[in-house]
Amino acid sequence: MLEAIERVLLQEEPDWVLVYGDTDSTLAGALAAVKLHIPVAHVEAGLHSFNRRMPEEINRVLTDHASDLLFAPTETAVHNLLREGIPSNKIYLVGDVMYDAALYYAEKAERQSQILTRLGLRPKGYILATLHRAENTDDATRLRVILEAFAKVHREVPVVFPVHPRTRKRVEALGLASLLNGVLAIEPVGYLDMVMLEKNARLIATDSGGVQKEAYFYRVPCLTLREETEWVELVRMGWNRLCASMDSFEISQQMLEQWVGEEDNPYGLGNAGRLIAERLISTTRGN
């Protein structure tokens, strides 16, 4: 991946390399640019779970320290970067680009997506579940407990579970495929269908960082199936609850609870993309 990105950068000769998030490609893009002396800007900088067992956490930290501009989505992310010794003149609080996307695509999903009709779902009449992180899928006991919890809940409220390919592979390898029969297990869906499922769910149970935020954007309570989250604001506000239980009954009971959190505006005004573009342009021009 690193060599392939280097070839593209040598061919295109960009003024900046813009990397997003915490994937392996994020870090590879940053490293390739640094080696070629091209400035790097990191979108979603400063987010930390403080769990170094997560590969995403390593990617975040290394990318932050390799970057020339750090676009932080929240005040918490800014404080994390300052505590790590990153100069304040490199850090810009811009809000979250995912909020930009959520605002733009919510109405589009309402107009175009037919997934609720296709699956026979009523708004606020089902729970949406996603699962893909290694801490849940690579631990056979943990994976079994979570799937058992989904099946328990499905007896009372439909559980819609778009199954990530990696998760399905692990389920089958561990002999747990029969547990998928206890829920509405479907193939992964496109973005607009996912937005429609998220905004109309009664509750979302997930281990995805992005889905946690999208749940809040649509004001849907979220049960995060992890010990920690990068989005501590959502826990503080009461929209997000952490659940790392190894008991299927406890997980299922939390999934069946209903709650709302406090209203706040921790992720900006939906104009993060414009602020990032303006900063990149002004910095390129030497302002």
Residue owning tokens 């020339």? 68
The alpha carbon of residue 89 and the mean position of all alpha carbons in its chain are separated, in whole angstroms, by 27
Instruction: With both helix axes pointing from N to C terminus, report the angle between 24-35 and 55-66 in degrees, rounded to the nearest 10.
Output: 30
Contact assessment for residue 251 and residue 145, using Cβ atoms and an 8 Å cutoff: yes
> pLDDT value at position 196?
97
pLDDT for residue 266 is more than 80: yes
Residue 225, both tokens: 């199936």
Instruction: Give mean pLDDT, residues 188-195.
Output: 97
pLDDT for residue 287 is more than 60: no
pLDDT digits (tens, 9 = 90+) for 20-65: 999 999 999 999 999 999 999 999 999 988 888 888 899 999 999 9
The alpha carbon of residue 20 and the mean position of all alpha carbons in its chain are separated, in whole angstroms, by 12
Please identify which of the residues 65, 132, 154, 164 carries the catalytic annotation. Answer: 132
Whole-model pTM: value is: 0.84
Q: Among this protein's residues, is 132 annotated catalytic?
A: yes
With cut-offs at 50, 70 and 90, classify the pLDDT of residue 88.
very high
> pLDDT value at position 286?
62
**Residue 33 Rama label (left phi>0; alpha psi -120 to 50; beta):** alpha
Helix spans in 15-54 (H): 24-35
pLDDT digits (tens, 9 = 90+) for 93-112: 999 999 999 999 999 999 99
